[in-house]
Structure 1
Amino acid sequence: MDWVSDKDTGLLGIESLAIDPSSPNKLYLSAGIAYLNGGASAILKSDDYGQTFKRIDVTSQFKVHGNGMGRGNGEKLQVDPRDGKILYIGTRANGLFKSTDEGLTWHRLDSLDVTTTNNKNGISFVLLDGGRIFVGVSRYGDNMYVSSDGGKSFSLMKGGPSKLMPGRAVVANGKLVVTFAQGAGPHADKAKGEGMEEGGVWQYDIASGRWADISPPLNRAYAGITVDPGNPQRMIVSTISHYQMRGGIGDQFYETLDGGKSWSSIVANGVQIDSNGVSWIAGSFIHWTASIEFDPFDTRRLMVVSGNGVFVSTDIHAAKPVWKFEDMGLEESVPLNLVSIPGGPVISAIGDYDGFRHTDLTQYSPIHTPTMGTTWGLDFAALNPNVVARAGSAMYLSHDMGISWKKTASMNGIKGQLALSADGKVIVHCPEKLTTCYRSVDEGGTWSEVQGLHTERGRAVADPVNPRKFYALADDRLLVSTDSGASFAPTAAVLASAKGSKAVRAVPGREGDVWVALYDGGLVRSADSGESFSALNNVRYAAAVGFGKAAPGADYPTVYIWGEVGGVRGVFRSTDRGASWLRINDDQHQYGGPGDAQFVVGDMNTFGVVYMSTAGRGIVFGKPKT
């Protein structure tokens, strides 16, 4: 999926996948995210094991939401094992669809009278077996259906649990075995009455049409289920959103050897978590366990998709089984900020897991401690680079380039963005969801309201040379502070667009030299602290701009953008202040563009190295070919 451009970022949200059992080289993905690219949705088809994909747009027929509630249910997409030309997909709001030409076209099966559900998850799974189509619907009451005639008609599978919702299912020994939960998951949604406190495992005898409760002894929401391909009497199920710490495990796992008549825990005696050198997973646990699978070649081996990655146990029956974190190259972290400190490390901030202090880009790096979860704000003092600050649910300061951190005494609001004055003596913080920003001159001991900086998602940026100067954007105006962030006022210049980036970028080592990415308004630069701006006419579109170490022999930092030059969109580099540009990525390496954080930051210690944010693909970096 590295080929996805920023025009199609939502395609990185994969809701379901299916492999053609008769032609395993054929892979199908349903892709889209409701809040990105206008909800554009597609079926992605590969004939070469996922090396390349053909995009089949389905937006006008149904929408996919790979980050919606119920995203762990499934699979919603299936290939008919008897005829690889036939596919089915359960949708969130438009019912069940069928394709008879390998996914190229789709038509709705009106015989199943199901559309949307209260939780907007719709059909939670489709399962094909022996000519039958089983459909689970993400609601209470009537929620299980079966067709025996290719979808021409469906009948309600009466007798199942009426106060639970189906999540996943397998067929084992002539029976459909379904995991149920009090909601769609992966977490509770109390506003919609989905608590996730209860659930179960139920079995439907296909021949007799009767349901039976075969739940393990723990009454919790269940999700993951897998059946031993060599022994249909043996299954393993997992809870979901169950936070019972037991040697690293949050969710619980139960195994049956007799088709559900009895169950035993495979984690009751504790487990060992092998973090595999990943500092941010150490001490964490397996949770949101929506999907589990036996290794078909070695059924002692179990693979688990957790909310924080993929875990694998090679012997689930060991006295204290080891679960190893196998997430190299699969991380789905959301980068939110990054700085490269001259003479120091790269420091990052990400969603959920704080961020890291990077000294070797080829290795996992230590997580910031103390931890606080999602971290947006991050900055260092340009003239005193030992001083670094970060903001999330709390605010922390470091005086040793991020090796150690101390929590500030106070903070107004949470998260948001912050800026450190060039000398590190002033913090300007703009909290999340507030239009008031605050200033501290005593390392967060006390705060005063900043005058003139009242904008949604405000973001102050420090001048790297003058400790008394800060910048910020407000619609189509640049705001400047010359009193150490106490007050801001607009300059006379009017920007070409009010819909550009929220971040003005200051050129390292130069006072008053700032650049602004204006999206369709292009790229502009000011050399006089915003009193006037000049457009770089060779850049037609710019989503992000940043700076890195100057090229050998150059006297100005290297400029990087995610933008459009000469009708081509990508990552570009300029070593002559934007007079000319060199594209440094290609169409196969776009990563969905700069995502939520919208940053492209050059390394300040190595020329040519650049870092880019993504929408859930982690931080990508590039370096010149040697």
Structure 2
Amino acid sequence: MSASLIKPTSVVCKEPNPGGPEDADRCPQPTSTDLKMSFYVGLTLALAALVRAAPAANTGYEFNSVAITGGGYITGFIAHPAEENLMYTRTDIGSTYRWNQTLDKWIPLTDFISEADVNLFGTESFALDPNHPERLYLAQGRYITSNNSAFFVSSDYGETFDIHPAPFPMGANDLGRNNGERLAVNPFNSDEIWMGTRTAGLWKSDDRAKTWSNVTSIPNAFANTIGIVFVIFDPKKNGTIYAGATAPEGLFHSTDGGASWSPVPNQPSTWEVTVPANTTGPQSTAPQPMKAVLSSEGVFYITYGDYPGPYGVTYGAVYSYNTNTQEWQNITPNANNSSPPPFEPQAFPNGGYCGVSVSATDSNTLVITSLDRDPGPAIDSLYVSRDGGKSWKDVAQLSTPNVEASGGYWGHSIEQAALKNGTPVPWLSFDNSPGWGGYGAPSPIQGLTKFGWWETALLMSPWDSEKVMYGTGATIWASDNILSTAEESKAADWYIKAQGIEMTACLELSSPTDGVHLLSGLGDINGYAHFDLDTPQPMFSLPVASNLDGLDWAGHHPEYIVRIGQSHLNNTPETGCHFGAISTDGGHDWEPLATCIPPMNSSSTFTAGTIAVDASASCIVWSAGNWLNRFLPTSNVSGPYYSSDQGKNWNSPTGLTVQTPNITTDRVQDATFYSYTDGVWYLSTDGGRTYSSKPGTEIGLPSGEGAKPIVDFKRAGHVYLNLAERGIYYSSNFGSSWKKVTGDNITAALFTVGKAAPGKKTPALFIWGTVESGGKTGLYRSDDNGANWTRINDDAHQYGGPSVIQGDPRVYGRVFFGTFGRGILRADIRKGSKKGGVAPGTGGI
């Protein structure tokens, strides 16, 4: 995909109201708090002048995803009623995808986003033009704390975009991202676009999102960092618009095209709930709108909560509002109108409601989802009504095998966790592990995958009401017979419909010389041994990690793998250390480490740090991470702990007294570990017991901070250091002396090595960075130990920049590319082609 060359347009700006809570459920927030009026200033020229993909030099490359299938939070769906199978899905950190019926997969649309503009790799909201199916609008920006947000405008189904800076911040990964849609196109004027913002009220554009003006006629701007969460036009009444805000009595309407606004009369102003004993009541004085749909007969169906979501909602409701009669009805599922009845002993679980969709042909047929019942004992449900909400069928209960034994943990059988063609997505079982803090995916019932959590994206097909799909915090589930099965109180047939979506946050990658192709450590969903790069693989078995921080393998025994990660499970002598595990069969099976290193020997949620195993698989070194950042050293009375008995006992070394993340092992010589920390080179040849050291400036290294050594996997003592703007340095004698192997203008943010080019002794070098002054940031390869470099990606394949890169020691030219929000990519030399450029059509698997 590419973008049309544009000139940044002027915008009418109003200073937003900064402040408010930050959503940090997935990752640390950006540090910038600049919410000044000139938000478009942060939109770099690289994005403001995006051009069609420039070819890469020399040998052509192609990019494909390493298949996980899903892996993150699906926040919304939209579909065009006039064009069958035209639908899109948005994600919190992975942007937007379009469904391709012919290819039977979702196609990513914004892989051209550069590293400088990575904040734009989240879709706050999106909209379609009812009169022009080919037109697509994306409101892009992950965090309101960033001064970089924009509108992506396409006239060709998202194949290319014009990019227009936005005069207000957006928060696709902030609190309230489950609501919407904030963005809407006037069905009576296709040039007129409206947007409900988080911090600056309601805005309007008369030129297809190029310029914007603040709509000051609405009585309240709701500048509370959540703000106005949906805008809906009545397609039968020119000039009638509705806007919903995260606030009690937050539904407003206009009948004169937005010139004046007033609250919708008689909307819910109090909670019609009974607060159970020994519990707190709702967090808001009245229900707050979350999502809404307008039926073909003019009936609004609105879901409510007492908190913005997607987490923290404890009470909720569902109402209908007939715009023709101005009548309100409380249609919340309850013990009197829902079948099967609510799970006992709870009279009805706490939690709100969010997802809602209505049939295009029957105003009385709709589906809704609850929100935040997890962890239960009864978890979130999907409900179907055929009578406008008078009665409901609890589809989650009906779909659960052996519901009596489930204990309220509604779920799909693991056999249903497969694509429609039968390809399994086995990791969705989460190995039925114990849950970790907050909202998590593991089902405690063997054989079940959890029915879902954060089920806020919901779509009843506008072309066939039997078809429904809903998104979760991990994937998309779909059914083609939801109405007929619910009518008969039977289980619907379900399958996974997330193929092509890769939106994991990658923390760690490793590629052994034999056995498994790739090992990955991911945010939120543990990690994987990728024996097949093209099909979903099982998740690492117990012990699970919410974030997997470290991976390593033994040079002479690549089937021996160690891993460490954040765990919310208690570590006891009976169960071992759940922060780490060992596999002796290439990543199939795992055993917890017998004990943790002292800083981790508790049920803390600290970052696990860095781990390395020597070539003989006899010595393990584990260095604790800073509790906020695994890449920062931790001051400690000990250096990196070592074990010579497979993690049964850990001891402190001499000669290195910092818990440094910059620790690695030689792949060829046994018992050999390296570290370059605070400008000092350390070498251990006795399994991490003792370290000798030399100041870097005495052995050919420049002054400055340290870096993690990267080793040649074939030759002992051959080591590289990436010192960013100071260059890449190389040693062939265990670090006794060093020489710079890159030119003065080469700056590498990330560095890795891979299989040597034919006839070469040194490995292929890969960097993410620049190779000339003022040059483009990109992915580059050198086959002559850093003397010359070739760019191997292009402007269409940037993915917001990588979080980690990893060369393949077995396949020349291959490098793995881990991202924050776009999963794991692999770049391969195109077979049978010596032409330059990146192969088209390889945006997703």
Q: Same fold (TM over 0.5)?
A: yes
Match of 1:145 in 2: 252
Q: Work out which of the residue numbers 381, 391, 395 in structure 1 matches 2:564.
A: 391
1:506 and 2:506 are equivalent in the alignment: no
Match of 1:426 in 2: 619
Q: CA deviation at 1:465?
A: 3.2
Please state whether the residue corresponding to 2:427 is helix, strand or coil. helix
Match of 2:233 in 1: 128
Please state whether the residue corresponding to 1:53 is helix, strand or coil. strand
Match of 1:380 in 2: 553
1:556 and 2:772 are equivalent in the alignment: no
1:425-574 matches, cutoff 5 A: 425-434=618-627, 435=634, 436=636, 437-449=640-652, 458-474=661-677, 478-486=681-689, 491-493=694-696, 503-530=708-735, 531-534=737-740, 536-537=742-743, 540-566=746-772, 567-574=775-782
Q: Work out which of the residue numbers 790, 807, 810 in structure 2 matches 1:605.
A: 810
Match of 1:591 in 2: 799
Q: CA deviation at 1:110?
A: 2.0
Counterparts of 2:368 and 2:470, CA distance in 1: 11
Counterparts of 1:388 and 1:331, CA distance in 2: 25
Summarize deviations over 1:475-511 as a string: whole Å, max 9, x none: 55555445533466764226668688x6432222334
Q: Which amino acid aligns with 2:501?
A: L
Counterparts of 2:131 and 2:733, CA distance in 1: 66
Cα 1:375–1:580 change in 2 (3 A) is same
Instruction: Report if aligned partners of 1:33, 1:39 keep a CA contact under 8 Å in 2.
Output: no
Match of 1:289 in 2: 455
Cα 1:477–1:463 change in 2 (3 A) is same
Any stretches of 5+ residues in structure 1 without a counterpart?
A: 189-195
1:404 and 2:589 are equivalent in the alignment: yes
1:67 and 2:173 are equivalent in the alignment: yes
Instruction: Report if aligned partners of 1:78, 1:127 keep a CA contact under 8 Å in 2.
Output: yes
Counterparts of 1:625 and 1:582, CA distance in 2: 15
Q: Work out which of the residue numbers 339, 362, 365 in structure 1 matches 2:510.
A: 339
Match of 1:192 in 2: none
Q: CA deviation at 1:204?
A: 2.9
Counterparts of 1:114 and 1:438, CA distance in 2: 58
Instruction: Report if aligned partners of 2:253, 2:261 keep a CA contact under 8 Å in 1.
Output: yes
1:313 and 2:519 are equivalent in the alignment: no
Cα 1:92–1:439 change in 2 (3 A) is farther
Please state whether the residue corresponding to 2:552 is helix, strand or coil. strand
Cα 1:294–1:428 change in 2 (3 A) is same
Counterparts of 1:455 and 1:95, CA distance in 2: 50
Cα 1:43–1:418 change in 2 (3 A) is same
Counterparts of 2:229 and 2:492, CA distance in 1: 32
Counterparts of 1:498 and 1:284, CA distance in 2: 50
1:229 and 2:360 are equivalent in the alignment: yes
1:280 and 2:427 are equivalent in the alignment: yes
Please state whether the residue corresponding to 1:183 is helix, strand or coil. coil
Counterparts of 1:163 and 1:428, CA distance in 2: 55
Instruction: Report if aligned partners of 2:581, 2:593 keep a CA contact under 8 Å in 1.
Output: yes
Q: Which amino acid aligns with 1:233?
A: N
Q: Which amino acid aligns with 2:426?
A: S
Counterparts of 1:127 and 1:33, CA distance in 2: 23
Please state whether the residue corresponding to 1:396 is helix, strand or coil. strand
Deviates more, 1:18-27 or 1:123-132: 123-132
Instruction: Report if aligned partners of 2:509, 2:805 keep a CA contact under 8 Å in 1.
Output: no
Counterparts of 1:3 and 1:457, CA distance in 2: 35
Match of 2:381 in 1: 252
Counterparts of 1:490 and 1:265, CA distance in 2: 66
Instruction: Report if aligned partners of 1:611, 1:620 keep a CA contact under 8 Å in 2.
Output: yes
Summarize deviations over 1:138-182 as a string: whole Å, max 9, x none: 23x342222222323222235324433221001133232210112
Match of 2:276 in 1: none
Instruction: Report if aligned partners of 1:468, 1:482 keep a CA contact under 8 Å in 2.
Output: yes
Q: Which amino acid aligns with 1:305?
A: G
Q: Which amino acid aligns with 1:398?
A: S
Q: Which amino acid aligns with 1:383?
A: H
Q: Which amino acid aligns with 1:509?
A: K
Cα 1:457–1:40 change in 2 (3 A) is farther
Counterparts of 2:220 and 2:745, CA distance in 1: 48
Match of 1:367 in 2: 539
Q: CA deviation at 1:126?
A: 1.9
Please state whether the residue corresponding to 2:364 is helix, strand or coil. strand
Counterparts of 1:481 and 1:138, CA distance in 2: 58
Instruction: Report if aligned partners of 2:481, 2:493 keep a CA contact under 8 Å in 1.
Output: yes
Please state whether the residue corresponding to 1:300 is helix, strand or coil. coil
Match of 2:151 in 1: 43
Please state whether the residue corresponding to 1:562 is helix, strand or coil. strand
Counterparts of 2:321 and 2:659, CA distance in 1: 53
Q: Which amino acid aligns with 2:293?
A: V
Cα 1:517–1:82 change in 2 (3 A) is farther
Q: Work out which of the residue numbers 146, 159, 173 in structure 1 matches 2:267.
A: 159
Aligned residues: 608
Q: CA deviation at 1:335?
A: 1.8
1:25 and 2:134 are equivalent in the alignment: yes
Q: CA deviation at 1:344?
A: 1.8
Deviates more, 1:472-481 or 1:329-338: 472-481
Counterparts of 2:612 and 2:144, CA distance in 1: 29
Q: CA deviation at 1:103?
A: 0.4
Please state whether the residue corresponding to 1:269 is helix, strand or coil. helix
Whichever structure has more strand as a proportion of its residues is 1
Counterparts of 2:310 and 2:692, CA distance in 1: 46
